[in-house]
Structure 1
Amino acid sequence: MTEAMVGDVRVPASPREVSETLGIRDGAAFRLTPGKITHPLAQGRYQSPLRYPGAKSALAPALGRVISAATASSEVPRVDLLVEPFAGGASASLRLVGDGTVERILLADADPLVASFWQAAAADTDRLIERMQHERSTYVQRGGAVAVERWDYWRDWRPAAGVSEATARLETAVKCLFLNRTTFSGILHGRAGPIGGRAQTSPYGIGCRWNQQGLEERLRFIGHLYYTGRLVDVWLCDWQRTLEDVPERFPQLIPSRVVAYLDPPYLEKSEKLYRTSFDPHGGYAAASDEAAAQTSERVGDLHLKLAEYLRERAQFRWVLSYDADHTLIQDPRLYARREMNPSSQDRELLGVHRWRISRRLLSTRYSASGKSGKRAASELLLTTLPPSTVPLDEEFRSTHEWERAAQATTR
């Protein structure tokens, strides 16, 4: 696992405590029996401490249905690990491990702010809560110019040279949490301003999304999942490194006891919502104005790269969700094919399968960066879980009519 730079300080891609306690490097975590989840928030409505643009927590029950149905087959006897390479707010993973649909979860994100937050929430829960309490009582609760000045401070903050890795990670986590709870729509991006505006004349001030008691409970839930072995690890790396590393770390779970859930950034305008976005040169890039302008022209290229990997090289089962866009099932470089198509070499050396790719449409409501709150949308769900087990009913609709409508518009 690689390291990343936050300011002038290196932040490890995985917290040292996780590696030592759970033996993540050799897969020893799965030779241990995870503890029972006893935290009351396991069945709670809100579990993630982060507000995330485009958060699709409403999809979690549907995802749970898909995975539970698959485990009724002989091909997928159980799901020991759910991997979320675009962790973000991680609402789906938290829901599914909390209700027992999956045994354990592994989170990964390419954004150092987001990954550091989840690492600190997991392995340094008490200190993160203490820092959160301090920020609220000293700055956020006072509101007005004091709170906005603190918002500016965290926007510009970078770890000082020479600080320890643990301190850099903790303070980076505080920055993520502070900006997420005080910025419009929770967007970690330079063009989004503080809630209530800089003048703080709105009836909804900068601290209106800072529910101290609720946030503390959610953070303790994350810590509980980590110490019971249900949250196996948090990785700071992009989706491809995550998907490639899982078979190396957990070979005993390949191919059908681990499932990846991928909810990538929007096909369009992702650079306006996320602090990091798909980058034309590989991985992710910081979404500064200049970088966003360069990235937006070729964001689609990286969606093509993801599609190519999932179609041809993925070594374990996956579920993918996107805003329903006809391009996804029309473009042969995306998901027009209805089955994986690995090379003979990858089939022989990596054991990549020719799994069928099932398609379903779902209706959902989720948050975005507009002023109208949550909006209704159709979601396209693609998966390599056994086709005969994927639900087909009023909730999980066939894509046939939708596909025919797309073909009619292109004639």
Structure 2
Amino acid sequence: MTGTVRVVAARRYGTLSPLRYPGGKAALAGLFADVIGELGVRNCTYVEPYAGGAGAGIALLREGLVSRLVINDIDPAVHAFWHSVVNHNAAFVDWVMEVPLTIEEWRSQRGVYRSKPADLDQLGRAFFYLNRTNRSGVLNAGVIGGQDQGGRYKIDARFNRSTLAGRICALSEFAGAIEVTALDGRTVIERHRRRRTSFLYIDPPYVHAGSQLYLNAFDGRDHQALAEAVNRINGAHWLMTYDESPFIQRLYGKHFQAALDLNYSARYPGKASELVVASEQVGRVLTESSEACRASAGA
């Protein structure tokens, strides 16, 4: 591993995703903007094969820093949410403003989510409801405040209607530039691996926290198969984040690797606790940026 790459992004973007997501990476948008700019990628397509909350991609698209955004998630409920807000935006906004915030409604939406209906709007709404009313946004966690609502915070603590409606409504302006898919992440990587105008941010389920944070947790074979797909990329620019693991470091031994010390880490604030793996050109930009930061600090 190269060492620690310290990157101070030129700008931090606010929270623009409507979702609360464990391990969300919206805070990396500034870093990606800097890297894409340094690489000189024009008409960039930003791709997240494991999108989740897609916070960084939304920020880049809204700021005009990328031309297209590919949001992919194989989880049917996550896909249903993004499909609904992109394709039926106004109806989703109306629902956000009107849906009851009660334990009775929570139980109803939980039932819908568990039944995984074929209707994407229905499933997407149920997913969003639980994401905003469950503890930490975790789908299999309990409701905020408990079912007796005896806790300090209540079911509506993270469901600010006007804020969420605003974030969702803002996406309607960019719907034509957003592609939503429900494919295996490796398939998405394969589609873009030769495209020099694509920038892939690959944030797969982590090794140690996978079963706790992700509904589609990886096992060792999944991590191995992903590494094989990444090793075949021969045109697109890409960057991955993983938890620090000797297993992962061995899988990506021929690529740039470093501990990522971002001044506002998304998962572990203030700690260099993540492994970044990157394509050769992206790794060069990260190294040069880190060296510039050290030189500035020592001046």
Q: TM-score range by the shorter chain?
A: 0.7 to 0.9
1:207-264 residue CA offsets vs partner (Å, 9 max, x unmatched): 10001111011001111111xx332x100112012223347xxxxxx43111211111
Please say if 1:379 is aligned against 2:278.
Answer: no
Distance in structure 2 (CA, Å) of the matches to 1:57 and 1:379: 15
Counterparts of 1:148-163 in structure 2, within 5 Å, are 148-157=103-112
CA distance in 1: counterparts of 2:284 and 2:272, whole angstroms? 26
Letter aligned with residue 155 of structure 1: R
Distance 1:48 1:148 in 2: 25
How do residues 78-227 of structure 1 correspond to structure 2 at under 5 angstroms? 78-135=42-99, 139-140=100-101, 147-157=102-112, 168-189=119-140, 192-226=141-175
AA partner of residue 243 (structure 1) = I
In the alignment, the residues of structure 2 paired with residue 131 and residue 335 of structure 1 have an alpha-carbon distance, to the nearest angstrom, of 45
Partner in structure 2 of residue 240 of structure 1: 186
TM-score (norm 2): 0.84
SS of equivalent to 1:110: coil
Please give the alpha-carbon distance, in whole angstroms, between the structure 2 residues aligned to 1:396 and 1:268: 33
Equivalent residue of 1:365, what SS? coil
1:320 deviation in Å? 0.8
CA distance in 2 between counterparts of 1:119 and 1:92 reads 18
Q: Output the amino acid matched with 1:206.
A: I
Q: TM-score, normalised by structure 1?
A: 0.62
Q: Which amino acid aligns with 2:109?
A: W
Q: 1:62 to 1:325 in 2, by over 3 A?
A: farther
- How far apart, in 2, do the equivalents of 1:118 and 1:58 lie? 20
2:285 aligns with one of 389, 397, 402: 389
Q: Which structure is higher in RCO with an 8 Å CA cutoff and minimum separation 6?
A: 2
- Structure 2 residue runs without a partner (length 5+): 1-11, 295-299
Whole-angstrom distance in 2 between the partners of 1:49 and 1:258: 25
In structure 2, the CA distance between the partners of 1:324 and 1:68, relative to structure 1 (3 Å rule), is farther
Per-residue deviation, 1:112: 0.9
C-alpha displacement at 1:86, in angstroms? 0.7
Q: In the alignment, which residue of structure 1 is the partner of 2:241?
A: 321
- Between the two proteins, the alignment pairs up a number of residues equal to 281
Distance 1:376 1:149, change over 3 A: farther
* Counterpart residue number, 1:65: 34
Q: Which has more radius of gyration?
A: 1
Report if aligned partners of 1:361, 1:397 keep a CA contact under 8 Å in 2: no
